[in-house]
Amino acid sequence: MEIIGPSSPPLAPAGSVVTIGVYDGVHLGHQRTLRAVVEMAHASDRAAVVATFDRHPASVLRPQAAPKLLADLEQRLELLEQAGLDVTAVIPFDLQRARETAEDFISGVLVDLLGASRVVVGEGFRFGAGRLGDTEVLAAQGRRLGFDIETISLDMEEGEAVSSTRIRGEIARGDVAGASALLGRCHELRGEVVHGDGRGGPLLGMPTANIHVGEDMAVPELGIYAGWYRDEEISAHPAAISVGRRPTFYADADPLIEAHLIGFSGDLYGRSGRISFLDRLRDEQRFDDLDELIAQMGADVAHAARLLADAAELAPGR
């Protein structure tokens, strides 16, 4: 997949089928739209193209209320490539872009840069300054500028449309299994493995990799989870994961994401680790007795190992 930007050479006129959107998470609804784009493009020997943004527009328009992200830009590009796109245009989103009219975006990006012959969007899609651009605006500009428009309905799951907002809600409640069913894969967080309290191995006999995740990412509710860890050297490795404040040791502390790699021994510091969440095991809780905590951690690891063995086909990277 080729990745381009606003200053890249323009694609061939009327030479592509284009979709537009943030595509946060590239969930099942997104995947339906992307499949349609790829099929339409390749059936007519054209390029399948997505125009996306380098950040969520809400992070610029309303930063205090911006939604947590389901995927960072790196992962989003990987997922778009896996969907079969030929070209992804990453458009920087800033205040100047936010003030751009839908008509100017259509002519400058979709037509002049991306050479759109057809534009494919999901139902209810809106864009441009004041979110005044919609499918009617696209259709009108298409008649003027020479491209068709196709509207795709989102996949339905239990009577509700699949959406990034819905998935964020599942993750915030700790229902990572429910989120995975809508994403079409396990929810993943990425970050550098950093030093923590140094307590896991020496005191508890349970060394952990502490993953430093950006504050803009969708982190599951506090609790204990089963999942996988992987990095540039380690393929998906079964892990018991804690998202917590360590209440046995602290009255109040910032949450940490800690992964105990089951049966693993080695130094992971400084690596770029990836945590994939399969299922939630229990709430975080405080223990008055250290031996009780150690016993519960052992039970959590055994529980996680059983779940992960039964769900091995869902491991990332397979």
Active site residues: 258
Rg (CA), the chain: 22
Distance CA 230, CA 49 (A): 30
Cβ neighbours of residue 11 closer than 8 Å, sequence gap 6 or more: 47, 49, 87, 113, 114, 115
CB 228 within 8 A of CB 239: yes
Cβ neighbours of residue 8 closer than 8 Å, sequence gap 6 or more: 89, 113
Q: What are phi and psi of 315, to 5 degrees?
A: -60, 140
Which residue, 154, 143, 125, is CA-closest to 36?
154
